[in-house]
Amino acid sequence: MRIRALAMRILIQIRHDKRTLGLILIAPLFIMTIVYFIFNGANTELHVGVINVDDEYVYEMESNDEFDVTINEYECNEEGEKALKDEKVIAVLDMTEDNPVILLDGSEATNVKQALTVINSARLNINLDKLPMNIKMDEWETKYVLGKEDSSMFDTFGAGMLGIIIFFLVFLIGGINFLGERTSGTLEKLLSTPIRRIEIVLGYILGFGILAILQSLIFTLFVVHVLNLEVMGSIYLVILITLLTAITALTLGMMLSTLANSEFQMVQFIPIVILPQIFLCGIFKLSGGWDIAGHFMPLYYTTEALNEVILKGRTISYIADDILVLLVLSGIFITINTLLLKFKRSL
């Protein structure tokens, strides 16, 4: 009863605060639209270099109906490599030898994928036996002249972004809301009533949990129907993961808000708590031991679970570990919050 009252109060507060509501519901869609155009810049012109490539093959590449392809011809491998380094082309297809080589500029992950698509789809469209040389290999050799191979595309990012956005907003808005309760004296007022400390924490979880479900529903529908991301697994599992993420973020935000004395000090937690998690949660490939550091971040488990469900269509048994970690973390944070309130009221 009291838990519901608290949850209702939080929802009414946010309804009155139109800007926060907009931030929660609309901002993520805006961010995703930008991310979509970053990774699916469909109308960009692709410059592809060719060395000793059959005319028929060049024609097939140029007439690709998905991308706008421009072909530059070079005499030798060195000339092609120089063009690539000068960033005149994104890829160079060299058919001088029997086994064709593709030189690539991996620093532009999106364009490289598109260039590879163009080269490979041309290969599927023509009869290779007609070509003068023997190119039967399934996999042509690829060589990254610039940058490294990076598989991150909108699909990979999209799944991870859902978790990040939920975590970020719930952490910040939940933490600031609870901080406001402390600084305005309403927490003390609340503690002068017969409410139990755990009821306060659970009330917050219920209120922000409802908000998080709403947010992830709108977010997922937008990403699926407007930005055409395919969710392979169950949408309910996606909601479950985001809900657990929201609870972890909220209880962590509440916990850290006791260390802050103002909203601004709450914002100062962003570079400490949020940014490292974004970099280490698994949407970026890391070298060295940094991927291990990710295992200590709640968002790592969210990202892993979301990737498994959205991209690979896994069922709950496969992501049980991730869910368990999020549950345990939430449990720990809830306990700490309840204990921290003890400093405010002994009972």
Both tokens assigned to 218 = 């709108």
Pick between residue 72 and residue 258 the one whose CB is nearest to other proteins: 258
Tell me how far, at minimum, the Cβ of 334 lies from other proteins, in Å: 20
Residue partners of 143: CB distance under 8 A and separation at least 6: 101, 102, 103, 104
- Residues in contact with other proteins, counted by CB under 8 A, come to a total of 27
Both tokens assigned to 56 = 């028929």
Both tokens assigned to 275 = 């940014």
Pick between residue 15 and residue 143 the one whose CB is nearest to other proteins: 15
The phi, psi pair for 323, rounded to 5°, reads -65, -40
Pick between residue 24 and residue 92 the one whose CB is nearest to other proteins: 24
Determine if 289 is a binding residue for other proteins (CB under 8 A): no
Site string for other proteins, 155-194 (x = CB under 8 A): -----------------------------xxx-xxxxxxx
Q: Which stretch binds other proteins (CB under 8 A): 87-95, 144-152, 221-229, 338-346?
A: 338-346
C-alpha 344/C-alpha 339 separation (Å) is: 10
Pick between residue 16 and residue 136 the one whose CB is nearest to other proteins: 16
Pick between residue 161 and residue 173 the one whose CB is nearest to other proteins: 173
Residue partners of 245: CB distance under 8 A and separation at least 6: 163, 166, 167, 170, 212, 298, 299, 302, 326
Determine if 195 is a binding residue for other proteins (CB under 8 A): yes
Tell me how far, at minimum, the Cβ of 1 lies from other proteins, in Å: 7
- Figure out which of the listed residues 9, 85, 143, 285 binds other proteins, where binding follows CB under 8 A: 9
- Figure out which of the listed residues 82, 88, 314, 344 binds other proteins, where binding follows CB under 8 A: 344
Tell me how far, at minimum, the Cβ of 264 lies from other proteins, in Å: 18
Residue partners of 6: CB distance under 8 A and separation at least 6: 199, 200, 203, 204, 206, 207
8 A C-beta contact, residue 289 and residue 295: no
8 A C-beta contact, residue 71 and residue 61: yes
Determine if 43 is a binding residue for other proteins (CB under 8 A): no
C-alpha 197/C-alpha 342 separation (Å) is: 8
Q: Which residues bind other proteins (CB under 8 A)?
A: 1-2, 4-6, 8-9, 12-13, 16-17, 184-186, 188-196, 344-347
